[in-house]
Chain A
């Protein structure tokens, strides 16, 4: 938030969207989608997280490109941990 002042109504709009998405994810969880359930839940969670990051945390208006690089790098590194660990577990059953 670089001194860029986000208008209050933007915050309220994001809040409303987040509340709606929470209700949606709660409701959808009652439906049996098989393996799709996890995917849907995570997609909604990620959407909510992105809204918080971009608007509440001000990343949409941030002035330093390095900040974006840092955030992307952190999630990418978490991805490395998850992916390469799962590589072991998933391939243990292979011949």
Chain B
């Protein structure tokens, strides 16, 4: 033990290079900023999860007996707003992306380190405003802020919530800007586009969406604020304003936003699947192009959220057709992950368990997206629990599980410690069971006709609701476990070697944890991505 202590004191890394709160709050080191983000979004995950638990508690019984109807509206609104804007959107890019992208491309930091820190502060300011909104009465518009309810009929803190999200959106824009410039301009010699890890490609595609989509959300929220504060009439039917115009502007961002949420997760899955199959990715070019295709096509489908809202039939036809196109690149990715595993040497470490979960659950979520993209079916299931189940399969079954896969995979690199593998596997199993028990019944509920955003329901739906709530408590236990054992590992976990998984990628050539400036000398890359056939190391025994 003494030897290890001496070795540790000798080697300086980004964690021990400086102590003190100022060295963290004024850091420009992308790795420290990633940890600041980790703390922030974990906090917001708990807030959003707390609201989810309250929702599920209310829905244990058909009657509206836990909270008032107005309160229930606030619960699902704030669950959605906090989870989407303060957890899902930043999670993989701002935590894992910030930490890994410079190292993966062989750079010393992002292109604009101070803007990176500013991004974090913006998220914190937006988050503080959101907490203030929650603590002083909340907002009940639904996370979608539909007009004219939000502009003309509600007395809750709509403008404050809109402003909080506006600020968080600015954080997201700056992160995307940073990533785009970094990936274009800061790659090490030899690190060509076709040698980039798919995780980098995924964040690049995500950043394109962040840049081009988020500003439209920003302006749509500003217009709502103008309508509320100054009684402007942008969306006031009495003055000729069209409430649907808000929906067009809102969904122009919010549909691509779901790709902001899922693409980084897909990047994680590509890294994990290749490593734990000991094989290079099947169809690298198609995988990279599919990411870009999803990003681009994702901008052409937004009005599929408005099929029954009053758009023209012809617009509906066009958007329905386009929505089918966007499924194709996602399907290609699922096929290629599967093909990667074929004849691979599979090991079932925790990250890989999560990756398996992702592939199955994302596929289910994605296929049910095709259901709702069909105009006829959508008329039946829109605004029911079917839609809720659909997007939770992708957001939770896909995105959150991919985030956990990434956290486990790169935890040794980030913290210098190994998490306890047995507990990791157990948590993954509990999360998988809890997730399916929570959300599968909701597909059935929705098809049977239970509307979303209702705080009471017909008695015949109770059994399925009870199952769903039971599942959510199991899921909550599953989420708490990594929280606990990651923290535990920072003190008591086994010290991690540089490359415990014998993985490919420049980040695994650095010490665990890395030094502040990542590399002593800028690497010169002469090998292709996922060169598992050339890697001589073996994974560490667990």
Once bound together, how far apart are the Cα atoms of A40 and B209, in whole Å?
33
- With both beta carbons as reference points, the residue of chain B lying nearest to A73 in the complex is identified as B212
User: CB < 8 Å: which of B184, B216, B314 contacts A87?
Assistant: B314
Query: Are A85 and B299 within 8 A (Cβ)?
Result: no
**Which residues of B lie under 8 Å from residue A88 when comparing CB positions?**
244, 248, 303, 311-312, 315
Nearest-Cβ distance from residue A64 to partner chain B, whole angstroms: 8
State the Cβ distance, A56 to closest chain B Cβ, in Å.
23
Are B314 and A81 closer than 8 Å at their CB atoms?
Answer: no
Which A residues from 20 to 70 make CB contacts under 8 A with B? Answer: 66
Partner of A91, one of B212, B244, B300, B315: B315
| A84 and B303 contact, Cβ closer than 8 Å, known pairs A91-B312, A91-B314 | yes
- CB contacts (< 8 Å) of B303 on chain A: these are 84, 88
Interface residues of B (CB under 8 A from A): 184, 212, 216, 244-245, 248, 252, 299-300, 302-303, 311-315, 318-319
A94 & B299 in contact (Cβ 8 Å cutoff): no
Q: Contacts A66-B184, A87-B314, A91-B315 hold; do A81 and B216 have CB atoms under 8 A apart?
A: yes
CB distance from B319 to the nearest CB of A (A): 8
Contact B212 A94 (CB under 8 A): no
Q: Any chain B CB within 8 A of the CB of A11?
A: no
Q: How many Å lie between the Cα of A4 and that of B252 in the bound state?
A: 38
Verify A94–B314 contact, CB threshold 8 A: yes
Task: Provide the residues of chain A in CB contact with B299, threshold 8 Å.
Answer: 77, 80
In whole angstroms, how far apart are the Cα atoms of A68 and B539 in the complex? 45
A1 at the interface (CB under 8 A from B): no
A84 to B315, CA, bound (A): 8
Q: Which of the listed residues B216, B245, B300, B312 has the most CB atoms from chain A within 10 Å of its own CB? A: B312
Residues of A with C-beta under 8 A to B319 = 84
Question: Is A74 an interface residue, CB under 8 A from the partner?
Answer: yes
A77 contacts B212, CB within 8 Å? yes
Question: CB-nearest residue of chain A relative to B244?
Answer: A88
Chain A residues positioned under 8 Å from B313 (CB to CB): 91
In the bound complex, how far is the Cα of B255 from the Cα of A81, in angstroms? 13
13 CB < 8 A contacts A-B? A73-B212, A77-B212, A84-B302, A84-B315, A84-B319, A85-B245, A87-B312, A88-B248, A88-B312, A91-B313, A91-B314, A91-B315, A94-B312
5 closest A-B pairs by CB: A88-B315, A91-B314, A91-B312, A92-B312, A88-B311
Question: Which of B212, B216, B300 contacts A84, CB < 8 Å?
Answer: B300
A80 to B245, CA, bound (A): 15
Q: Are B315 and A81 neighbours in the complex by a CB distance under 8 Å?
A: no
Task: Check A87–B212 contact: CB distance below 8 A.
Answer: no
- CB proximity of A11 to chain B, nearest CB, Å: 28
Question: Which residues of the other chain, B, contact A91 by a CB distance below 8 angstroms?
Answer: 312-315
Chain B residue numbers with a CB within 8 Å of A80 are 299-300
Instruction: State how many angstroms separate the Cβ of A91 from the closest Cβ of chain B.
Output: 4
Q: In the bound complex, do residue B252 and residue A81 qualify as a contact, i.e. CB atoms below 8 Å apart?
A: yes
CB distance from A68 to the nearest CB of B (A): 13
Residues of B within 8 A of A73 (CB): 212
Q: Determine the chain A residues whose CB is within 8 A of the CB of B318 once the complex forms.
A: 84, 87
**Residues of chain A within 8 A of B252, CB atoms compared:** 81, 85
A88, A89, A94 — which one has the most chain B CB atoms within 10 A of its CB? A88
Which residues of A are found within 8 Å of B314, using beta-carbon distances? 87, 91, 94
Besides A77-B299, A91-B314, A94-B312, 9 other A-B contacts (C-beta < 8 A): A66-B184, A73-B212, A74-B212, A77-B212, A84-B315, A84-B319, A88-B248, A88-B303, A89-B312
Task: From B212, B216, B313, name the one whose CB has the most chain A CB atoms within 10 angstroms.
Answer: B212
Select from chain A the residue with minimum beta-carbon distance to B184.
A66
Question: Chain B contacts of A92 at CB under 8 A?
Answer: 311-312
B321 CB to closest chain A CB (Å) equals 12
Q: How far is the CA of A80 from the CA of B322 in the complex (A)?
A: 13
Q: Which residues of A contact B245 (CB under 8 A)?
A: 85
How near does chain B come to A95, taking the closest CB pair, in angstroms? 9
Report Cα–Cα, A94/B315, bound state, in Å.
Answer: 11
List residues of chain B with CB within 8 A of the CB of A94: 312, 314
How many Å from the CB of A52 to the closest CB on chain B? 21
The answer for the CA separation of A66 and B187 in the assembled complex, in Å, is 15
- Tell me the complex Cα distance, A80–B213, Å: 11
Name the A residues within 8 Å of B312 (CB-CB).
87-89, 91-92, 94
Q: Give the complex CA separation of A66 and B183 in angstroms.
A: 12
CB nearest to A90 among chain B residues: B312
How far apart sit A81 and B315, CA to CA, in the bound complex (Å)?
Answer: 13
Nearest B-chain residue to A66, judged by Cβ: B184
Residue of A nearest to B248 (CB): A85
Closest chain B CB from A73 CB (angstroms): 7
B residues less than 8 Å from A77 (CB atoms): 212, 299
CA distance in complex: A14, B495 (Å): 65
Find the A residue at minimum CB distance from B303: A88
Complex Cα–Cα for A84 and B248 (A): 9
CA distance A73 to B180 in the complex (A): 14
B178 to chain A, nearest CB (A): 14
The CA-CA distance from A84 to B319 in the complex, in Å, is 9
Using an 8 Å CB-CB cutoff, how does the interface string of A1-23 with B read, 1 for contact, 0 for none?
A: 00000000000000000000000
CB distance from B393 to the nearest CB of A (A): 27
A-side contacts of B244, CB under 8 Å:
88
Chain B min CB distance to A44 (Å)? 26
Contact partners of A74 in chain B: CB under 8 A: 212
> How far, in whole Å, are A78 and B315 apart by their CA atoms in the complex?
18
**Assembly CA distance A85 to B247 (angstroms):** 10
Q: Across the interface, name the chain A residue whose C-beta is closest to B242.
A: A89
CA distance A57 to B181 in the complex (A): 19
